[in-house]
Amino acid sequence: MRAAWWRAGETAAPGGGAGLVGALVKRLLIRLVLVASIAPVILLGPALVRAPMNLLRELSVHRAIHRSSRPGRVRGLRVLHSNTEAVRLVWRRARRGRYPVEGYRVWRDGVVVGQTPGRSFALRLGASQVHVVGVAAVDVRGHVGPHTTLAIGVHLPPGSAGGSTAHRPASRSSSHSSSAAGSHSSSSGTPAPPRPPAVHTPPMPPAELAAERVTDTSATLSWQPGSATTGTLVGYMLYENGQPEEVVHGQSVTIALASARTYTFTVRTLDSGGYLSEPAPELTVVTTHTPPSTPEGLAASGVSEQSFTLTWSPSTPVSGEIVGYRVFRDGVAVSGRSSRNVTGYLFEGFELHAGRVRLQRRHGFARGALSDRGIGGRARRT
């Protein structure tokens, strides 16, 4: 076969050595092309394998930070049965957040009265005729979900929708008095006809509901007074996003809110019989938001050809709470971190950023804290 190869070379180039050199150069070029096409795969093989794994890891961290850490809202809150001194509240299971739900916390008129692992609660009522009760889910880490409320002991005007309400049973003394009045007979011995039920005229609604001093975390509401047509005026039932919140004994109230949120409010006049007026026109309030402070002390350590570690000092929240730090590469978010350090991987020609931390091949960094409502300023390092 070797002799045949030489003969083929001589036949192709009878001029002697020139044909042989051309064939050798051709074979050498073919081998160089094959080596050049395979070399990147051999050299970058481990990096190419790690890249998809790193991307999946970063995306999973990004989703973990943006997933709601609090449990969901309690649904179906109602009074199962009641008497003059207590009510039995029941509700449906709340959706879990990042952690399992441990129990349910119960409020009465803004004060915590207990917590239960189940979905019912026996609640004692106070001397007041009207109460606002609330229930919220609590997870194993102590995160409290949004509360669902119920107004007990109130009466809405006919045909009016005013959130969740429940009537409170009349006291024994009033029931006894009603029975005695109903059994009254005339002096002639003929039973008197039953008295028609008294018609209760609902109170007049308040007017000119307005908001002032709206900040990241609070707002002050005020309104012009309503009036009671039957009985006396007791106060005003405040509604937030359609839910009864509290009875206000005055014409203004300052309420705690979350930042960067939109709320709707209204108020109803409450009289001594537990009757509510029609609502005042709804008012929309949008709270502001101040981003967290810029992280300080950004530093890189353990920098090698394939990886590095970044560390920084924690940011300070102004509104809400710090939930993590977002990682950027070339201005595009690639990760979110709940801790204050991150390990990245370097590839030839890549630029990597860490919440806003930026790492180029010249190692320039920028980072911003991620709060529950937005991103703060950037810290930089070269």
Domain annotation covers residue 261: yes
pLDDT confidence of residue 358: 33
Nearest to 250 by CA among 223, 283, 212, 210: 223
pLDDT tens-place string over residues 323-351: 777 766 667 666 555 555 555 544 333 33
Domain annotation covers residue 148: no
Query: Which of 262, 288, 314 is the last residue before a domain boundary?
Result: 288
List, in order, residues 6 or more apart from 36 with CB less than 8 Å away: none
E strand or H helix at 331: none
pLDDT tens-place string over residues 271-312: 998 999 999 999 999 998 888 888 788 787 888 877 778 787
Same domain, 342 and 315: yes
pLDDT tens-place string over residues 137-192: 999 999 999 999 999 988 888 776 656 666 555 443 343 333 333 333 333 344 55
Nearest to 301 by CA among 365, 367, 379, 377: 365
Same domain, 275 and 305: no
Per the structure, the count of domains in the chain is: 2
What are the b/e assignments for 94-121, b being 16+ CB within 10 Å? bebbeeebbebbbbbeeeeeeeeeebeb
Asked if 235 contacts 132 with a C-beta cutoff of 8 angstroms, the reply is no
Same domain, 233 and 268: yes
List, in order, residues 6 or more apart from 338 with CB less than 8 Å away: 61, 64, 65, 323, 324, 325
Query: Which of 261, 288, 315 is the last residue before a domain boundary?
Result: 288
Longest dimension (CA), the chain: 152
Q: How far apart are CA 66 and CA 323, in angstroms?
A: 9
Query: Which of 288, 306, 321 is the last residue before a domain boundary?
Result: 288
Domain annotation covers residue 32: no
What CATH number is attached to the domain comprising 360?
A: 2.60.40.10
Asked if 377 contacts 291 with a C-beta cutoff of 8 angstroms, the reply is yes
pLDDT tens-place string over residues 28-37: 888 888 877 7
CA distances from 202 to 189, 236, 268, 355 (A): 38, 13, 10, 56
Domain annotation covers residue 301: yes
Same domain, 283 and 207: yes
One-letter amino acid of 160: S
Domain annotation covers residue 44: no
Q: What is the DSSP letter of 205?
A: P
Range of the domain at 324: 291-381
Nearest to 367 by CA among 342, 348, 349, 345: 342
Domain annotation covers residue 134: no
